[in-house]
Amino acid sequence: MTELAISNKQVELNRGKMIKAGLKLLVWVSVAALALRFVIRDAVGYFTIKQASYGPFWPRWGWLLTHVIGGMLAILLGLFQLWSGLGQKYLRFHRLTGRLYLIGVLLGAGAAFYLSCHSVVGWTFGVSLFTLAAIWLITSTMAYVAIRNGQVQAHKEWMIRSYVLTFAFATFRLWIDLPQLSGLGTRLERYTTIAWLSWTVPLFVTEAILQLQRIMRPAEVKSSVHSHENLLVDTP
């Protein structure tokens, strides 16, 4: 009787694990598809350095190209980063892509500061993107500092926040291209509102999920996470 109960519990646990893995895969594939859509449709064109490709950005083409290279590194490598990091299986690959991801964020955010101060859309839009660039840099730095200090769980959480922000511009383009929104207010009002919504809402939802996972995690898992953290640290 007890053995039967144990094996039933095991089946239930396995089923739970499979559902979780399936959900993770679904989220990952959707995120990858959106990232690729954005890169192919909106970013790759800037590798052709001509006035026609850059339009109003032409006087700042060097800044935009730096931004696009950094942003592309971050958005594409971030996909592998999250996948390999969540599994802890491909640690070497994870470290390499992690460093390249950080370089991408540095380049992308550095150029974004300049671009947002000279926005082709308007200053209110620039304020949202300037703030996004600052928080993008801070969350990525926090992820790096956490792993240098052996805080694996904190590193994962800050990387997730960082990638949610990396993704904000792709979400922004998705919303701004919706024909249903094209008649709302002026262009500046539309761009500014959607720019704020495209990173504040996903960041808040992510935070709620991360905090919920923390609250729901059983006490013994919490303590084993802390005691194992030091084993996984990369040596300087």
Closer residue to ligand HEM in complex, CB, 111/152: 111
Contact 208, 182 (CB under 8 A): no
Our CB check for ligand HEM shows the closer of 82 and 168 to be: 168
Which residues sit at the interface with ligand HEM, rule CB under 6 A? 39, 42-43, 46, 64, 67-68, 71-72, 74-75, 108, 112, 115-116, 119-121, 125, 129, 132-133, 136, 165-166, 168-169, 173
Tell the burial category of 56 from Cβ atoms under 10 Å away from its Cβ (0-12, 13-18, 19+): exposed
**Minimum CB separation from ligand HEM for residue 181, in Å?**
15
Nearer to ligand HEM, 125 or 158 (CB): 125
One-letter amino acid of 177: D
The nearest distance, CB 144 to ligand HEM, in angstroms, is 17
**What whole-number distance in Å separates Cα of residue 116 and Cα of residue 55?**
16
Which of residues 54 and 93 has its CB atom nearest to ligand HEM in the complex? Answer: 54
Shortest approach of ligand HEM to residue 203 CB, angstroms? 11
189 touches 122 (CB < 8 A): no
Q: Count the neighbouring beta carbons within 10 Å of the beta carbon of residue 217.
A: 12
Residue 183: alpha-carbon gap to chain centroid: 30
